Structures are given as structure tokens and as C-alpha cells.
Amino acid sequence: PAAPSHDKALGLLLGGALGDGLGAPFEGREVVEETQLAAWEAAATPLVHTDDTALALVLAAHVAERRDEHGLDRDALAPEFAVAWRAEPWRGYGSGTPHVFGLIGAGVPWRSAARATFGGQGSYGNGAAMRVAPVALVATSLHHAAELGRQSAEVTHAHEHGQNGAACQAAAAYLALRSDRRHRLDAVRFLQDLTRVVRSRLWHEKFDRIAELIRHEAGPAHAARALGNDVSALGSVPLALLAFLTRCDDASMAIRYAVLGGGDTDTIASMAGALAGARNGARAFPEAWTARLEAAEPLGRLADQVTGPLAARP
């Protein structure tokens, strides 16, 4: 398939960063008031990003560099993540990740490092899902997107749910990129497509619940109680999906819905924002928001890199 349009690629990248920056001040709060969010949206201060965007930048650069191969190299990717963490450890990382990155930075193979946390099970956190959307920019099929998502997760998240979360979000980003905003998005079909690439009963149950919440036009607080809003992959990726699917034609509203769900707001809004931007394009976000993005420039360059003409090989 042809590369996605520049507007959609940029939308995916900026949407992720916008959700991160708009959600970050509320991370960990169970209740987010609409008035608080509206005040933060209207502020003029920079949208400083957290670990979500810091690592998405690394993964985006990694796949952009290998764009002609449509793949990724886990042995190279693992130390690239570790370098980004080492340079800015203050970006709000989870408790397990610094341990994994520390080991990788010290030369421990990623397969062992990713198993070194949580009694050998590895992380089921949403850290692999929060950074994964850029792989959809180079994926050649839905299955390929899920596979790239899974591979990118393996270097830090050995637990199957950490990996399923990344596969799910990568596949969703692929579907959102390939969707045409001039046509209604069929949420049931979208979820059925995800069922084909995320093969886990627990995830399928969440997809069923998402469909039900859409049917009932559930608000964010209700949806957060029904699906979860915590730092686990299984407890956050579904709410991000719902925020996108239920507000799929209004990119700002998708981010708003995700933040108002509370809990892991930066990450859930970042994942929802990437999907909303992938469908609706960068121009769908208010200029007043994108102008505040700390990472606007590098994200813009990456969108150019994945959609521009392929660089000639030396």
C-alpha cells in the first residue's frame, strides 16, 4: 500500500503528543472536572511531554530510518529506548521501566532485561502500547502492524498483556490511518478486525464491552469504571479505543473524552489522540494546541521522513 498522506501521518504523531501533554497534569486523578480541563486547554504554556512521547519519538525515528524495509530491529531499538530514558529520566517513567532500561544500557540482552521485573513475569504495563502508534506508518497490512507492535513491545514488556496492548494499539492505528473520514467509521467492524489480530479471550471481552458502551453512548466516567483507566495495558488500551471510536470524527473530543475518564490520563489520551489524528489528520486539531507542543518540530520532521520520497541509497 501507498504511504499514508502527510496530514494523516502528522496527525498520528501530533495527536499522540497532544493527548500526552493535555492529559499529563491529571495523571493519577480519579476525577477530572471539565472546567479544569478547559482551563488547561486554554492555557498558553508549552505542552511538555512525558515518557509516552519521549519513547514514541524513538520508535518513530527507528521505523522511519528503516522505512524501505517496513520493519524494525529489536537489537538496535532496545538500546535506543535506553538512551532516551538515560538522557531524560525525569519524564515520568513507570517503576519497572528504569530497571529494564538500566540493564539494557549496561549491555544485558533485551530478552533477559524484559524478564527481570515483577518476579520474572515482566511488565503488563501500558508502556509498550503508549509509544507504539508510529509503527502503523510503515506497516503493510493489519497483521503486519500488530506484529510490529508486538516486536517493539518485546524489548521491554515480557508479559503477554503488555505485548497484546501494543499489538492492539498498533493495529488500531493502522485501521485509523487507512480509514476515510468522508465515510462513517463502523465501530463494530473495527473491533472485529482487532479481534483477528489480538488473540486473547480477556481482550475480546473488552472489545465486546466497548461495543456495548458505544451503543449506550456511555460518558467517560462510566466507561472508565467499565473498562479500567489504570497503568496496565488491559486496563487502559480499551478506554483509549472507546474514546476514539465514540468520538471518531472529532479529534479534539476524542482526547477530551480520554482525559475526562481519569486515571492514567496522559497515556490514555495519548493513545486516543494518535488514533484520532490518524483518521482525521493534523489539521483537525486546533492550531492553538499544536503551537504549544514541545515536540512539534521533531514530530514534523518524522512525518516528512515517513511520507516524503525515499532517500537514495549510497
Residues lying near ligand F2R in the complex (CB under 6 A): 27, 50-52, 92-97, 118, 121, 123-127, 130, 159, 231-232, 264, 266-267
- Please name the residues in contact with 118: beta carbons below 8 A apart, sequence gap of 6 or more: 96, 124, 159
Task: Please choose, from the candidates 166, 153, 174, the residue with its C-alpha nearest in 3D space to the C-alpha of residue 198.
Answer: 166
Q: Are 239 and 255 in contact (CB under 8 A)?
A: no
Nearer to ligand F2R, 194 or 240 (CB): 240
Cell (9 digits) for 166? 501494543
Nearer to Mg ion, 169 or 267 (CB): 267
Considering only residues 123, 246, 252, 267, which one is a binding residue for Mg ion as defined by CB under 5 A?
267
Task: Please choose, from the candidates 80, 129, 46, 58, the residue with its C-alpha nearest in 3D space to the C-alpha of residue 302.
Answer: 58
Cell (9 digits) for 277? 489524528
Nearer to ligand F2R, 62 or 131 (CB): 131
Span between the terminal Cα atoms of the chain, in Å = 25
Q: Which amino acid is at 66?
A: R
Binding string to Mg ion for residues 67 to 106, with x set by CB under 5 A, is what?
-------------------------x--------------
User: Does position 229 bind Mg ion by CB under 5 A?
Assistant: no
Write out the binding residues for Mg ion, residues 140-169 only, by CB under 5 A: none
Task: Please choose, from the candidates 176, 174, 145, the residue with its C-alpha nearest in 3D space to the C-alpha of residue 247.
Answer: 176
Compute φ and ψ for 232, nearest 5 degrees.
-80, 155
Stretch that binds Mg ion, among 28-36, 159-167, 261-269, 278-286 (CB under 5 A): 261-269
Nearer to ligand F2R, 120 or 309 (CB): 120
Compute φ and ψ for 263, nearest 5 degrees.
75, -130
User: Does position 52 bind Mg ion by CB under 5 A?
Assistant: yes
Considering only residues 10, 15, 37, 50, which one is a binding residue for Mg ion as defined by CB under 5 A?
50
Nearer to ligand F2R, 124 or 207 (CB): 124
Smallest separation (angstroms) from Mg ion to the CB of 94 = 8
Nearer to ligand F2R, 81 or 190 (CB): 81
| DSSP assignments along 181-203, one per residue | TTS---HHHHHHHHHHH---HHH
Considering only residues 147, 154, 160, 264, which one is a binding residue for Mg ion as defined by CB under 5 A?
264
Smallest separation (angstroms) from ligand F2R to the CB of 159 = 5
